[in-house]
Chain A
C-alpha cells in the first residue's frame, strides 16, 4: 500500500509572519505579502520563478467571499495559475498536501502555498467556528472548538488529580517551548511550580477546560514553496522532503465525535494507515520530532496517545516523565504548538514548516540538539478531521520501505 509517487517533492522555502493577537498595521493582503516575501527570500528565488499559487483560509472568519481575488495584491498569483483549496482547521496542511500533489503530478515545478487567518477581524473565533454547525438544529448548541468532553473521559480513566496535573504539565511544557520561539504568539513564562495554582485559578471556559488550556486567537500567515526534486536541489541547500500524507475525515454530525461510537478516532486511523503503508512500526523510535496540532492541553494529551498508537496511561507516564520535552525521547511541538499560536488556516502549515526548520537546523533558540532526520506533522479540523504528514531530511527511505 505504499505510495508510488510520480516524482519527489521538496520544501524549498518557508516564510511566516510574526503571530500576534492583532495586526491593525497590516490589511489582509499586506499580511500575506509579508509571508510570501519571506518565503521567496528563504528560497532565494523571485516571484517569476513560481509556477502556481495555492491559497486557503476559512472565509467566514474575515467575512471575505472568494478572498484569493482581493488577496492577489499580496499573494503574487497575478497572471499565474492559482488554486484555492480549503478544509477547515486542517487547511494549512491540506495546502501542503495539495502543493505536493500538484508538483508531483508534473503539471507545475514550483508551487507556493499560502495559509492565513486574521482572526481579530473576525471578532469572535468561537462564534465563527460555531457557524459550521447545522443551522437547522446544532448551531445554537455548539461551543466552537471549546469542549471538556475529552477531559471528562481522561479524568474517568486515570483520576481527577492525575489527569488535571498531566494536562497542566503539558500546557506548561508547551509554553516553555514557545518562550524559545520568537515567532510564537503567547509566551507566558510559566513554570512547573505553578501547576497547582493554574489548576485551581485559571478562569474556567467549558467544564474542565480552563482559559490557560486553550489555544489563542491569532493573526498570522505562512507561505511555503514546494518544488520538484530537480528544482528543489537547485534552489535550496537543505531541501526537506515530503514523504507521504493522509487525510481522514469522519461523519458530519458532531455529537458522535464526543462519544466513541467507534473504537478509533480519526487521528488513530490516520496514524495506523500512514505508518503501515510506510513500514513504520514504532513511531516513537522512528521520529525525531512531532509537531502536533493541539488546540488545547486536554486534546494534546489525548491525541498524543492516538497519533503514537499508545494504550492506557502510557502517554500520561511519558508526559509525567518529560519524554516530550525538547531533550526527551520524542520532542513534541518545539514551536510551542497551537496553545501558543493559532492563526487557524496557517496553523496546520506551521506544523510542517517547523519540522522542516528543525531538519535544516534553522529553528533558532528552540532548535533541537539531536539531529532531526524523520519528522511527523499533524493538522486538525472540521469535526475531528486529521491530516498527517511524514517529512524526511534525506531521500533515503525509498529503497527500504517504498516500492
Chain B
C-alpha cells in the first residue's frame, strides 16, 4: 500500500497548499475597554466580585465562581509576584499574524499586588529569563507609545 501511495503521489497531485484568510474585528465591550484605557495610563484595572471578593485581571464582567455580575473596578499592581512560568524554546506561529515567534520567549503567571485569587499572564524581559523563579518580584515595563492595546505593556522585568 505504502509503495502504491508513493507511486500515485509521483503521478497525481494528492495535496494542495492553501492559506485561508478572513478579516475580523473584535469588540472590547465596556469592561475590556476600561482595561485598555488603563494600560494607556500605565494602570492595571481589575473587577472585583461583589460576592466572593476576588479580583479579575483583565477584568471580567462576571465572576465565574459565583456566576454574578462584577462591574466594580479596583486598581491592582503594578508590581507582582511570579507564581509560575513557561519558557518556550519551540517556535509556534502567532495565529493573529501568522509569523513565527523568536525564541526563547516566556509566558509569565503573576499575582499582581492587591489582587485576590487571580493570576495575570504576560511575558518577562528576555534578559531576565535565566533568573526566572517562582516567587520572584516583577514590575511592568511600559511601551513609550501606548494606544490602548495589550502591547502597551511590553513585558515584566525582575524588580530589584
Interface residues, chain A, with chain B CB atoms under 8 Å away:
24-25, 63, 123-124, 126-128, 130-131, 135-144, 146-149, 152-153, 156, 203-207, 250-256, 258-259, 261-262
Contacts and interface: CB of A to CB of B under 8 A. Distances in A.
Contact of A147 (B26, B86, B117): B86
A137 B150 contact: yes
Interface of B: 5, 8-9, 14-15, 20, 24, 26, 28, 32, 35, 54, 56, 58, 60, 64-65, 83-90, 92-96, 107, 109, 111, 117-123, 134, 150
Given A152-B134, A205-B89, A130 B119 contact: no
B64 A252 contact: yes
B95 to A, nearest CB: 5
Contacts of B88: 143, 146, 205-206
Contacts of B150: 136-137, 140
24 contacts: A24-B9, A126-B92, A136-B58, A137-B32, A138-B121, A139-B95, A141-B122, A143-B90, A144-B92, A147-B107, A149-B84, A152-B134, A153-B84, A203-B89, A206-B90, A253-B56, A253-B64, A254-B121, A255-B120, A255-B121, A256-B119, A258-B109, A261-B54, A261-B117
Main secondary structure of the interface of A (DSSP, over half): loop
B87 A207 contact: yes
Contacts of A131: 95
A264 to B, nearest CB: 13
Contact of A204 (B85, B89, B109): B89
Nearest to A135: B26
Nearest to A211: B90
Given A136-B26, A152-B84, 15 more contacts: A25-B8, A124-B93, A126-B92, A126-B93, A137-B35, A141-B107, A143-B107, A148-B85, A149-B109, A206-B88, A206-B90, A207-B86, A255-B121, A258-B119, A261-B54
Contacts, number: 116
A276 B57 CA distance: 35
Nearest to A131: B95
B9 to A, nearest CB: 7
Pairs of residues from A and B, 7 with the lowest C-beta to C-beta distance, nearest first = A251-B64, A255-B121, A126-B92, A205-B90, A259-B83, A127-B93, A137-B150
Contacts of A204: 89-90
A153 B109 CA distance: 13
Nearest to B32: A136
A250 B64 CA distance: 8
Contact of A141 (B9, B64, B121): B121
Contacts of B65: 251, 262
A255 B108 CA distance: 9
B92 A63 contact: no
B87 A148 contact: yes
Which of B14, B54, B64, B90 is the most central at the interface, judged by chain A CB atoms within 10 Å of its CB? Answer: B90
A9 B9 CA distance: 44
A243 B130 CA distance: 50
A206 B93 contact: no
A255 B9 CA distance: 45
A223 B8 CA distance: 28
Contacts of B121: 138, 141, 254-255, 258
A131 B93 CA distance: 10
Which of A128, A147, A258 is the most central at the interface, judged by chain B CB atoms within 10 Å of its CB? Answer: A258
Given A137-B58, A207-B85, A259 B119 contact: yes
A63 B20 contact: yes
Contacts of A148: 85-87
Nearest to A26: B14
